[in-house]
Structure 1
């Protein structure tokens, strides 16, 4: 990604990233640890102490309850029993959300929630799974 494009996306996603930064920092006294992951273009808080497990992305911040974001996981469709797909890397799935945030900025959260929130039917989750499976197609409105 061109540095100017990256900086523009970082700035556009900043309101959501600030939410993630505050949440991540709140977890630090309880064991969360932060590190920059250039591949994900995100500050990742590992061992974030709250939530049912897995990860959530807020702008250029990823909150992950585990020790390693590169863990294998199932796609939403596989987990819901809609199909059988190979395991994906959680880091690839979350990177897709970072890219979505960098394009949509403050519009991401309202659009994500309008599309169904955390669910197999959400076009954002399907796009992130597609990207994690193939390396392409992170945009939720494919042509």
Structure 2
């Protein structure tokens, strides 16, 4: 079973490589400007904290996470909470970004076009809602959940 998981993760990382490479280039370019790199096995990613560029927060590109803060192990609000649609507890940013890593590993080069077709960064984007759901519950990183059987709408 462990060998199967390792093979699936390896294939997912290979499939996500076209998106990982630009993230790696940006992360490596940020190192002389104070960024720090850490390989995070749990997150299946190379995380660059302290990236000095960008509007703040984190950006996942394949198996690379570019984070402008001190540590990705910080709390953040969900998109729905920030939009005032509901009240939710803060989530770990690392968990939210891990969901995006898993999405990239499943969708590979299709991730970015699908992400932007779904609305880009914001609460209406099903990829962001799925990442928030995963960060809240540890489940549900896939952006197209099966239709609920109790009449709810995602």
Larger Rg: 2
Q: Does 1:45 find its partner at 2:30?
A: no
Deviation at 1:28, TM superposition (A): 1.2
Gaps of 5+ in 1: none
Matches within 5 A, 1:5-84: 5-84=8-87
Following the alignment from structure 1 to structure 2, what is the Cα–Cα distance between the partners of residues 121 and 28?
A: 34
Match of 2:114 in 1: 111
Q: Which has the higher mean CA deviation after the structures are superposed, 55-64 or 27-36?
A: 27-36
TM-score normalised by structure 1 residue count: 0.98
Q: Does 1:3 find its partner at 2:19?
A: no
Q: Which has the higher mean CA deviation after the structures are superposed, 106-115 or 26-35?
A: 26-35
Gaps of 5+ in 2: 147-154
Deviation at 1:67, TM superposition (A): 1.1
Query: Alignment length, in residue pairs?
Result: 143
